[in-house]
Amino acid sequence: MKSIFTAFFLTLSSFLGAQVNPKFQTKLDQQAKGMEQKVIEWRRHFHQYPELSDQEIKTASYVVQHLQSLGLKVQTGVAKTGVVALLETGKPGPVIALRADMDALPVTERNGLPFASKERAIYNGQETGVMHACGHDSHMAILMAVAEILAKNKNELKGTIKFIFQPAEEGSVNGQEGGANLMVKEGVLDNPKVDVVFGMHIQSMTPVGNIAYRPAGLMAASDWFSIKVKGKQAHGAAPWMSIDPIVVSSQIIIGLQTIISRQSELTKEAAVITVGKIQAGIRENIIPEEATFAGTIRTLDAGMQDKIHEKIKLTATKIAESAGATAEVTIERKTPITYNDPVLTAKMLPSLKRAAGENHVIEIHAVTGAEDFAFYQQKVPGLFFFVGAMPSGIDPANAPSHHTPDFMIDEQGFIIGLKAMLDVTTGYMFMKKINE
């Protein structure tokens, strides 16, 4: 253990911190403030015209038009609808990737905003509203502003900046491959090879002006599971002639919760098993032959993740067997743990504090939400952080959460997100080693 800490501090002490010219930083701050209204206008456009995962065609076109107007090299159609742009300074330096996600959710908006979405779509065979119910609209608007400001100051920068506008962060439909995982496979971190990646997420439950971060595991791994229970069909008036898959499914669902409450070492890390979908039967007086249900698993430790997978399979099959039914369990690993490189996080903390203020950068506990930004972090050091945008006057316990029809954010939070992305970019770009 001692050697690990020694290596950490030796690595950290080999850096003197960001050597950004204070006058240059002040100029960037002023330009960021000057673009605040434009960021709001871009965000409202994206919010009013959202598109689902892998369908972000108009969204991507809007982004491309802006990036091309800045004179950047732009590549389209990455991971289906993704956009990647390069700002090349022509001077030696690091390759820094900045990422924003583009997709919206199958949620019908009801928050009463004047620019609320009225878009409709078919999702999993059902008609639904489409809404930016997670803040991806603000991520795109902020990164567009970052690109404009950095392009305007190209002569004072060094190295290369890669702007990644990613589709399908919420997951591709019908089990298709997409999002960050597909972007990585298609080489988004190569040509030129990326040294470091930064990303942020607006937060409706964090007060405006605050940045929240955590070294190491910030967000959970996300796995999806499906369980098909097969029994014996019978008339609802004679349940003894059946093997009721609905009752068996109910028992399995309750049994799954004991995996968390009684079989998982929760003092080590948090874990969650949630059933979000149940399908069975077609008529009130018929006990069906089959029932299926599905849900998600969230873990922050790889060992616990493997153990919970095993326990789910054991619990489902044995409970079904005890009733004379069978259970088929399918588990799909979707998203890894969002892991902030500890050395990188420590190095960039001064940049975050500069953006928000010393007392407004808060280290938090890990959260059980998931982010496919993790796929970039598996390949290169990365830092992902939260930017507060909770509407004023709201109790955090009652703030509208992400992925809900009432989701709402305070646009005053955008300026901190914009400054933070500029500061971590220039902070890393001008980080000096002792031997330089």
Q: What is the mean pLDDT of residues 129-151?
A: 98
Alpha-carbon distance values, 376 to 164, 170, 203, 342 (Å): 11, 15, 21, 15
State pLDDT tens for residues 21-59.
999 999 999 999 999 999 999 999 999 999 999 999 999
pLDDT of residue 436: 46
**Distance (Å, whole) CA 382 – CA 77:** 24
Tokens, residue 30: 């002023």
401 touches 407 (CB < 8 A) = yes
Please tell me which residue in 51, 54, 101, 103 is annotated as part of the active site: 103
State pLDDT tens for residues 201-213.
999 999 999 999 9
Residue of 333, 360, 335, 365 lying closest to 349 (CA atoms):
360
Is the pLDDT at 132 greater than 90, yes or no? yes
DSSP state of 49: S
Report pTM.
0.91
Strand partners, 161: 87, 96
Tokens, residue 295: 């849900």
**Distance (Å, whole) CA 348 – CA 57:** 34
Please tell me which residue in 119, 169, 223, 411 is annotated as part of the active site: 169
Specify whether 119 is catalytic. Answer: no
**Distance (Å, whole) CA 156 – CA 233:** 73
Element of type H or E holding 36:
helix 36-48
Tokens, residue 380: 């290169």
* 315 or 20, which is more confident: 315
HSE-up of 78 (CA within 13 Å, CB side)?
25
Sign, CA dihedral 420-423-429-432, equals negative
**Distance (Å, whole) CA 340 – CA 218:** 7
pLDDT of residue 204: 96
State pLDDT tens for residues 357-411.
999 999 999 999 999 999 999 999 999 999 999 988 888 888 889 999 999 999 9
Q: Give me the residue label for tokens 């673009």.
A: 35
Tokens, residue 44: 């409202």
Q: How confident is the model at residue 18 (pLDDT cuts 50, 70, 90)?
A: low
Amino acid making up residue 330: T
Specify whether 436 is catalytic. Answer: no
Is the pLDDT at 1 greater than 70, yes or no? no
The separation between the first and the last C-alpha atoms of the chain, rounded to the nearest angstrom, is 30
Element of type H or E holding 127:
strand 126-129
At 109, give phi and psi (nearest 5°): -70, 140
pLDDT of residue 393: 84
Q: What is the SS3 assignment for 274?
A: strand
Preceding amide of 192 cis, omega within 30: yes
**Distance (Å, whole) CA 402 – CA 104:** 11
Angle between helices 36-48 and 414-429 (to 10 degrees): 110
Alpha-carbon distance values, 129 to 106, 132, 149, 170, 406 (Å): 6, 10, 35, 16, 13
